[in-house]
Every structure is written in C-alpha cells, then in structure tokens.
Structure 1
C-alpha cells in the first residue's frame, strides 16, 4: 500500500485525511500466474493497482487469442469501459505472472469521490492516464511497423518482456509468431 500512498503523495499531495478515507477502501489480493481475473460477460467492479506482476487484456478466439494490452507492475488497470458503464466486458483480463494488487470497488470509489476533497481529481487523472495509453496504442497500430511496436514494448519494460510468452507479444504487435521470430532475428 505504501507504493500507492507515495504515488498519490507525489502526484496529488493528498492530505492525510483523504488518504485515510481512500486507504480504508482498498483491499489486497494475490493471484497466481495465468489466472483470469475478469471474463468476458462479467462486469468490471474494480480499479486495481499492480504492486507486483504483469497483466494482459485479450479477446478469446477459437484459433488465436487477440492480446491488445499489457499492464506492468506499479500501474493502475481496469476493464475501464465496463467499470465506468457497469456493463459486461467484451474481453478478458488475465495475470501473466504471479501478481499482487491493491483494488478499490466501483461503489467504494464513488464514496471516495463524495467523501474527499481530492477524489475527483484522482479519478480524472486516472481516466486521463488510461485514455492517453489507449490513444498511444491506437496511433501505434496505425503509424508504426510491427518491428517498431516490438521495440517500443521492449524499451518500455525490458526486464519483464522475457516473462511474456512470444505468442502474446506476436498477437499484441499484430503478427504471427513466425513473423515475430524473424523480427527478433533481424534486430538481435
């Protein structure tokens, strides 16, 4: 929980009172590797902060799953469209590694918004951060080659990229596993 407190202190100068309200709503969970934490058709009820671990977002398909996002430790994540609208998710969220999260439920977050001075600012900033990541991903798909997308992912978190199965990386950058092998061979 100290990581989240530091994040809010550094970025928002959260007061002790507001932190106490927010912290009282957080719950700690641990999930094993390859654990589905949200199935398609379920409503996302949590905004989560990854203390340790790695998560992927994907659309299950009979032949090939379509991975469209990775979230690394010390970042917030949520199936945010489902969370905001409280409607069923159209995709899955799964841990790639053993992971630990601090989570706040939708209803508890609404209470934080109502009970604290800084709650709405925190919510707005979280929304802005998720929007920027989504926009960057869309622009990357439209403007960059698969090789550039691979290099971007590698430069973002080189220490954990080795923990992501190559088939997930291939799906994420929009190529087959064989094409990814050729890309990796070219740049090594």
Structure 2
C-alpha cells in the first residue's frame, strides 16, 4: 500500500532526524505526512510531567499526528525520533490533491484510515487489559518488529508497565 504512495508522483522531501529530535512539537499543527525510510519514531504526549507513548513508527511505516492532520488544529501530541532516522515528508496539501485526483487514490486513503482505526481499537483493548503479561503477548503477536526496533524503556511506557516488568516478561 505504501509503495504505491511513494511511486505516485507526490512530492516528497527527504530529511534526516537525529536521535531525540522532534518532527512535531506540542501545540503545533501537523501539516505533513511522514514516511520512515529507516529509523524509528514515537508519538507521545506529556501529562503531569509523565510521557504517555501512543504509537510507534519504524522503517517502512507512515506516521502522522492524525488528530491535527485531519482537523487542521494544534495538537498536544509530539513526534520524536527514537534513533537517527531518515524520513520522507509530504505536505497535507499535496497529499490531499493526490487522493482527490481519482477514485482509486481515495479508496487508498480510506484503506489507510480504516487500518488506523482498527489499530487504535486494538490499542484501546490493550490499555483495558489488567494483566501486563497479556498486554505484552498481544503486542508481541501483533507487532514483533517493535521489539527489534524500539528500546525497552519506550515499549514499557507504551505497555504501561515498568521496564523491569517488561524485562521479566521477555525472559519468561
């Protein structure tokens, strides 16, 4: 699906991000969509000085602060490079011109949105599960690549458990 978008003629600007560098900061409006050529990123928010990781993206993924991208309004979400990352960036304006240029492109966008909604529902289920082991097993089954691409401290935050608990679960 993403390959089609990359070969669509959409103007992509390539940019390198250093570890911990931000693609989007809180209070800003996201007017771009990002394709991760290599590296890994995280989307998170800070509440009462505690970070809450919402989503990860790594090599081959698209990522965006979807609330801001869709609404055109500022968002509290941040997008930050977890490690050195190479990212292709397209503007919302160019992206929307592409998806509005034909029925097939619109279907492509609807498929992306449907996939994101289904992923978000799975994420919500994960957060409702009390057992750290079950949360870990669900995410491992759904996204084994996550454990290759992302440091444990971020995965533990995402799973709402301590790094020590995650380490024990990985060993067992």
Q: Using structure 1 for the length normalisation, give the TM-score.
A: 0.78
* Alpha-carbon distance in structure 1 between the residues aligned to 2:4 and 2:103: 13
SS in 1 for 2:133: helix
Pick the structure with more strand per residue: 2
Aligned with 1:174 (options 143, 160, 164) = 160
- Report if the CA contact (8 A) 1:97-1:163 is conserved: no
Aligned with 2:121 (options 126, 135, 142) = 135
- Report if the CA contact (8 A) 2:10-2:95 is conserved: no
Q: Which has the larger radius of gyration?
A: 1
Number of corresponding residues: 171
SS in 2 for 1:115: coil
Within the alignment, does 1:98 sit opposite 2:94 as a pair? no
Partner of 1:157: 144
* Alpha-carbon distance in structure 2 between the residues aligned to 1:69 and 1:98: 18
Unaligned regions of 5+ residues in structure 1, if any?
Answer: 10-18
CA distance 1:115–1:162, change in 2 (3 Å): closer
* Alpha-carbon distance in structure 1 between the residues aligned to 2:46 and 2:38: 25
Partner of 1:87: 73
SS in 2 for 1:120: helix
* Alpha-carbon distance in structure 2 between the residues aligned to 1:31 and 1:97: 8
Unaligned regions of 5+ residues in structure 2, if any?
Answer: none
